[in-house]
Amino acid sequence: MPKNKGKGGKNRRRGKNENENEKRELVFKEDGQEYAQVTKMLGNGRLEAMCFDGVKRLCHIRGKLRKKVWINGGDIILLGLRDYQDTKADVILKYTADEARNLKAYGELPESAKINENAGMDDELDENITFDNFDDEEEDDIDDI
C-alpha cells in the first residue's frame, strides 16, 4: 500500500471560490429581519449584536457564513429574528463598508450608526502618542550607558 504524501484531496485541488471582489446586489431587510451592529465576538460561531430596533441580541452565525465570511466587531449585519426567542437571532448576511454606507444613504440605517470606514487602518491614531521620558535635547551617547 502506498503512503499518502499529498496535501489534501479533491476539494483542495479544486480551489476556493474567490468571488469576494465582485459587486453583489444590495439586500434590504424583510419582515422578520433586522439590521444590527456587532458589539462583541463570543466564539463558537456566536456573537453579541446591538440591533437598530434597540434590542441587544445573542446571534448565531449560520454555517454558510461560518468559515467563509469573517465577521468582526463593529460590522453591520442582517439578522433573522426568531419568533419564539426575542433575545436570540441568526446572522444571515454581512454587509461590506460600502454596502453599509449605501444602506445609510437610503435611510435604512439610522444616522447614529457608526460604520467602520477605516477598519484595520488606525494609522492616524498613532500620530498623537507622546512619550514621557524622551527629550530631544538630551541624547545619551552609547558609550555613557
Nearest to 53 by CA among 73, 33, 70: 33
Measured between alpha carbons, how far apart are the two ends of the chain, in Å? 66
Average pLDDT, integer, range 19-28 = 76
Euclidean distance between CA atoms 92 and 136, whole angstroms: 54
Question: By the 8 A CB rule, do 41 and 60 touch?
Answer: no
Per-residue pLDDT at 93: 92
Q: What whole-number distance in Å separates Cα of residue 38 and Cα of residue 82?
A: 18
CB atoms inside a 10 Å sphere around CB 79: 23
Residue 41's alpha-carbon distances to 8, 17, 25, 93, 136, in angstroms, are: 31, 26, 27, 16, 43
Locus of grid cell 435604512: 108
pLDDT band at 120 (very low <50, low <70, confident <90, very high): very low
pLDDT in the model for residue 92? 93
Alpha carbon distance 130, 108 (integer Å) = 41
**If 0-12 CB within 10 Å is exposed, 13-18 middle and 19+ buried, where does residue 108 land?**
middle
What's the confidence (pLDDT) of residue 122?
Answer: 44
* Average pLDDT over all residues of the chain: 79
Residue 91: which pLDDT band, with cuts at 50, 70 and 90? Answer: very high
Rounded average pLDDT over 75-103: 91
- Nearest Cα to Cα of residue 75 among 107, 26, 120: 120
Q: What is the pLDDT of residue 81?
A: 92
Which tops the pLDDT comparison, 126 or 57?
57
> Would you say residue 121 has pLDDT above 50?
no
